[in-house]
Amino acid sequence: MHSYETIYDVIVVGAGHAGCEAALAAARMGCSTLLLTINLDAVALMSCNPAIGGLAKGHLVKEIDALGGEMARNIDATGIQFRILNTRKGPAVRASRAQADKQLYRLRMKRVLEQQDNLYLKQGEVTGLYLEGEELRGVDTRSGIRFLGKTVILTTGTFMRGLIHIGLTNYPGGRAGDLPSVGLSDQLGHLGFQVGRLKTGTPARLDGRTIDFSRLEPQYGDDPPAPFSFSTERITMPQVPCHIAYTNPRSHEIIRSGLDRSPLYAGVIEGIGPRYCPSIEDKVVRFPDKERHQTFIEPEGLETVEVYPSGMSTSLPIDIQIPFYRSIEGLERVEIMRPAYAIEYDYVDPIQLRASLETKLIRNLYHAGQINGTSGYEEAAGQGLMAGINAALRVKGKEPLVLGRSEAYIGVMIDDLVTLGTKEPYRMFTSRAEYRLLLREDNADMRLREKGHDVGLVRDELFEHFLRKREMVAAEYERICSGRLAMSDREQEFLARHELVEIQKGTSLEQLLRRPEVTYKELAEFDDVSRETPHEVREQVEIQVKYRGYIERQLDQVERARKLEGTPLPEEMDYFSVNGLTTEVREKLAKNRPDTLGQASRIPGVTPAAISVLSIALKAKG
Amino acid sequence: MHSYETIYDVIVVGAGHAGCEAALAAARMGCSTLLLTINLDAVALMSCNPAIGGLAKGHLVKEIDALGGEMARNIDATGIQFRILNTRKGPAVRASRAQADKQLYRLRMKRVLEQQDNLYLKQGEVTGLYLEGEELRGVDTRSGIRFLGKTVILTTGTFMRGLIHIGLTNYPGGRAGDLPSVGLSDQLGHLGFQVGRLKTGTPARLDGRTIDFSRLEPQYGDDPPAPFSFSTERITMPQVPCHIAYTNPRSHEIIRSGLDRSPLYAGVIEGIGPRYCPSIEDKVVRFPDKERHQTFIEPEGLETVEVYPSGMSTSLPIDIQIPFYRSIEGLERVEIMRPAYAIEYDYVDPIQLRASLETKLIRNLYHAGQINGTSGYEEAAGQGLMAGINAALRVKGKEPLVLGRSEAYIGVMIDDLVTLGTKEPYRMFTSRAEYRLLLREDNADMRLREKGHDVGLVRDELFEHFLRKREMVAAEYERICSGRLAMSDREQEFLARHELVEIQKGTSLEQLLRRPEVTYKELAEFDDVSRETPHEVREQVEIQVKYRGYIERQLDQVERARKLEGTPLPEEMDYFSVNGLTTEVREKLAKNRPDTLGQASRIPGVTPAAISVLSIALKAKG
Ligand SMILES: Cc1cc2nc3c(=O)[nH]c(=O)nc-3n(C[C@H](O)[C@H](O)[C@H](O)COP(=O)(O)OP(=O)(O)OC[C@H]3O[C@@H](n4cnc5c(N)ncnc54)[C@H](O)[C@@H]3O)c2cc1C
Ligand SMILES: Cc1cc2nc3c(=O)[nH]c(=O)nc-3n(C[C@H](O)[C@H](O)[C@H](O)COP(=O)(O)OP(=O)(O)OC[C@H]3O[C@@H](n4cnc5c(N)ncnc54)[C@H](O)[C@@H]3O)c2cc1C
Using one digit for the tens of pLDDT, what is the confidence trace for A567-607? 999 888 899 999 888 888 999 899 888 989 999 998 988 88
CA A382 to each of CA A599, B160, B190: distance values in angstroms, whole numbers, following the listed order: 20, 40, 52
- Which chain A residues are closer than 8 Å to B145 by Cβ? 318-319, 339
CB B165 within 8 A of CB B281: no
**pLDDT above 70 coverage of chain B, percent:** 100
- How far does the centroid of ligand 1 lie from the alpha carbon of residue B216, in Å? 40
Buried b (16+ CB within 10 A) or exposed e, B65-94: bbbbbbbbbbbbbbbbbbbbeeeeeebbbb
Within 8 A of B336 by CB-CB distance, chain A residues are 122
**Nearest CA among B246, B243, B248, B251 for reference residue B213:** B243
Q: What is the DSSP string of B370-411?
A: GGGTB-SHHHHHHHHHHHHHHHHHHHTT-PPP---TTT-HHH
> Is the separation of the CB atoms in A57 and A410 below 8 Å?
no
Sign of CA dihedral B119, B120, B122, B124: negative
Q: Which ligand 1 atom minimizes the distance to the CA of A183?
A: 41
Q: Which residues of B524-555 are buried (b: 16+ CB within 10 A; e: fewer)?
A: eebbeebeebeeebbbbbbbbbbbeeebeebe
Q: Does A114 touch chain B (CB under 8 A)?
A: yes
pLDDT at res. A562: 86
- When mean pLDDT is compared across A16-30, A219-233, A584-598, B138-152, the lowest value belongs to A584-598
Provide φ and ψ at A137, rounded to 5°: -120, -15
Instruction: Indicate whether B475 pLDDT > 80.
Output: yes
Model confidence at A555: pLDDT above 80:
yes
Nearest ligand, CA of residue B55?
2
Ligand 1 pocket, mutate which of A153, A357, A370 (most atoms under 8 A from CB): A370
CA distance A157 to A229: 25
Q: For chain A, give the mean pLDDT.
A: 95
* Residue B90 scores a pLDDT above 90: no
Which pLDDT value is given to residue B533? 92
Ligand 1 centre from A381 Cα, in Å? 11
CA distance A271 to A262: 14
A408-446 residue pLDDT tens: 999 999 999 999 999 999 999 998 998 999 999 999 999
State the distance between the two ends of chain B, measured CA to CA, in whole angstroms: 48
| Ligand 1 touching residue A310 (CB < 6 A) | no
Write down the pTM of the prediction.
0.93
- Is any Cβ of chain B less than 8 angstroms from the Cβ of A40? yes
Q: A56-65, B273-282, B445-454, B455-464: lowest mean pLDDT where?
A: B273-282
Q: What residue in A sits closest to B3 (Cα-Cα)?
A: A319
Report the 3 state secondary structure along A213-280: HHHCEEECCCCCCCCCCCCCCCCCCCCCCEEEEECCHHHHHHHHHHHHHCCCCCCCCCCECCCCCCCH
Contact B313, B340 (CB under 8 A): yes
Q: Is the peptide bond before A227 cis (omega within 30 degrees of 0)?
A: no
Quote the crossing angle between the two packed helices B409-420 and B377-395, to the nearest 10°: 80
The pLDDT of residue A314 is 96
Q: How far is CA B595 from the centre of its chain?
A: 23
What's residue B13's pLDDT? 98
Question: Which residues is A83 bridged to in the sheet?
Answer: A97
Tell me the sheet residues that pair with A91: none
Q: Residue A361 CB: number of other CB atoms within 10 A?
A: 15
Cα distances from A343 to residues A44, A163, A549, in angstroms, run 18, 5, 47
pLDDT score of B387 more than 90: yes
| pLDDT of res. B261 | 95
What digits encode the pLDDT tens for the residues A383-406?
999 999 999 999 999 999 999 999
Taking the CB of residue B236, how many other CB atoms lie within 10 A of it? 9
Phi, psi of B500 (to 5 degrees): -115, 55
Instruction: Show the ligand 2 pocket: residues with CB < 6 angstroms.
Output: B 13-19, 36-39, 42, 47-48, 125-126, 155-159, 174-175, 181, 184, 200-202, 277, 313, 343, 369-370, 375-377, 380, 427
Question: What is the C-alpha to C-alpha distance for residues A232 and B507, in angstroms, rounded to an integer?
Answer: 73
Instruction: Kindly tell me if the per-residue pLDDT of B608 is higher than 90.
Output: no
For residue B46, give the ligand nearest its CA.
2
Q: What is the pLDDT of residue B270?
A: 86
Tell me the residue type at B215. Answer: R
Residue of A6, A125, A126, A145 to mutate when probing chain B, most B C-beta within 10 A: A145
- Amino acid found at A564: L
User: What is the number of the ligand 2 atom nearest to the C-alpha of B427?
Assistant: 11
- Contact check, Cβ <8 Å, B120/A319: no
- The answer to whether the CB of A37 is under 6 A from ligand 1 is yes
Question: pLDDT band at B530, cuts 50/70/90?
Answer: confident
Of A104, B275, A533, which Cα lies nearest the Cα of B283?
B275
Rounded to the nearest whole angstrom, what is the distance from the C-alpha of residue A48 to the centroid of ligand 1?
Answer: 9
- Asked if residue B383 has pLDDT above 90, the reply is yes
- Above 90 in pLDDT, residue A1? no
Burial class (CB in 10 A: 0-12, 13-18, 19+), A269: buried
What angle separates helix B548-565 from helix B535-546, to the nearest 10 degrees?
Answer: 80
Burial environment of residue B454 by CB neighbours within 10 A (0 to 12, 13 to 18, 19 or more):
exposed
Residue B173's contacts (CB-CB under 8 Å, 6 or more residues apart) are: A179, B162, B163, B164, B179, B180, B343
Kindly report whether the peptide bond that precedes residue A224 is cis, defined as omega within 30 degrees of 0: yes
Residues of A in contact with B142 (CB under 8 A): 169, 171
Instruction: State residue B165's pLDDT score.
Output: 96
Asked whether the predicted pLDDT for residue B436 surpasses 80, the reply is yes
User: CB B422: neighbour CB atoms within 10 A?
Assistant: 19
Nearest CA owner, ligand 1 atom 24 = A157
Does residue B622 have a pLDDT over 70?
A: no
Task: Quote the crossing angle between the two packed helices A460-482 and A444-455, to the nearest 10°.
Answer: 140
Cα–chain-centroid distance for residue B26? 19
Q: Which helix (H) or strand (E) holds A207?
A: strand A205-207
Least confident of A248-257, A348-357, B305-314, B503-512: B503-512
Nearest neighbour of A123 by CB, restricted to B41, B177, B179: B177
Question: What is the spatial distance between Cα A522 and Cα A108, in angstroms, rounded to a whole number?
Answer: 41
B182 and chain A in contact, CB less than 8 A:
no
User: Which range has the worst mean pLDDT, A378-392, B148-162, B420-434?
Assistant: B420-434
| CA distances (Å), origin A207, targets A287, A333, A575, B115 | 29, 10, 60, 10
pLDDT of residue B254: 98
Tell me the H-state helices in B29-124.
Answer: 57-67, 71-78, 102-115
What residues does B365 pair with on adjacent strands?
Answer: B152
pLDDT of residue A619: 86
Would you say residue A477 has pLDDT above 80?
Answer: yes
Q: Which residues of A459-473 are buried (b: 16+ CB within 10 A; e: fewer)?
A: eeebbebbeebbebb
The interface residues of chain B toward chain A in range 255-294, judged by CB-CB distance below 8 A, are: none
CB A25 within 8 A of CB A68: yes
Residue B324 has pLDDT above 90, yes or no: yes
Q: Taking CA B229 as the corner, what is the angle to CA B223 and CA B232, rounded to the nearest 5 degrees?
A: 70
In sequence order, what are the residues at sequence separation of 6 or more whose Cβ sits closer than 8 angstroms to the Cβ of residue B478?
A: none
Q: Which of B107, B115, B207 sits opposite A103 (nearest CB)?
A: B107
Alpha-carbon dihedral of residues A463, A465, A466, A467, nearest 10 degrees? 90
DSSP code per residue over B12-47: EE--SHHHHHHHHHHHHTT--EEEEES-GGGTT--S
- From A17, A60, A64, A414, the mutation candidate for ligand 1 (largest count of ligand atoms within 8 A of CB) is A17
